[in-house]
Amino acid sequence: MASSRSFSEEQFQEACAELQNPGLLGWNRQMESRGLTVYRKLNRPTGLYEYKLIGTLRAPPDLLADICMDLGYIRRQIPQVTETYETECNGETVIYMKMEFPFLLAARDCVYVRQRRELDFRGQKVQVVLAKTTSVPQFPERSDFIRVRQCQVKLAVQSNGSNQSKVFIYCFINPGGWIPSWIINLVAKNGVPGFLANLEDACLRCQRRT
């Protein structure tokens, strides 16, 4: 398991607490999709939206966390991802991801750390996955790619009975470059239902194979 230096104990505990009480003051409800309610809030410095997804999915917590940690799943589900791999840097597992887009959009790459932990929170077993962008000398910026500098994801899940999970997801991604913020926000809004559908369907396929 990777060192936890990038994520504090408090951050894991906060993810568990948000699963129980997501703190929606200032957040606007956007839609319902696959048993989850999607909320968003404007990140004023960037003009982009942060998202919270709250509800239930038809899969056990361990399986949901397994799939979210699976780089192969990311490559299969996001066609723009052309390369992704992980390596050890100073005792931590660091992931490099390369993304190429059609038309006039520049290629991008991203370097991030992530960690998964199982916690006992107020008598409940909770699976937590945290991820965020980082900078390490092993992955210097390339002139032919725009480096994604801002990306943060939090996932917390616990059993909700009947092979279901209570789910909390937070995500904020700033792809950088000169893409207008309204285009990024539109893509993010339209992409959320597909992301949830793919995640749940992947879990259901795994369950049918076992």
Max avg pLDDT among 15-19, 53-57, 96-100, 142-146: 15-19
The number of distinct structural domains making up the chain is 1
CATH of the domain at 201: 3.30.530.20
Q: Does 59 have pLDDT greater than 90? A: no
Task: Kindly state the average pLDDT of the residues 56-75.
Answer: 85
121: its two tokens = 């929170």
At residue 166, the pLDDT reads: 93
Q: Does 152 have pLDDT greater than 90? A: yes
What residue numbers bound the domain in which 111 lies? Answer: 9-209
Residue 4 lies in a domain: no
Q: Does 114 have pLDDT greater than 60? A: yes
Residue 30 lies in a domain: yes
Average pLDDT, the chain: 84
At residue 192, the pLDDT reads: 67
pLDDT band for position 1 (50/70/90)?
A: very low
- 93 half-sphere exposure, CB direction, 13 A CA radius: 13
Residue 198 lies in a domain: yes
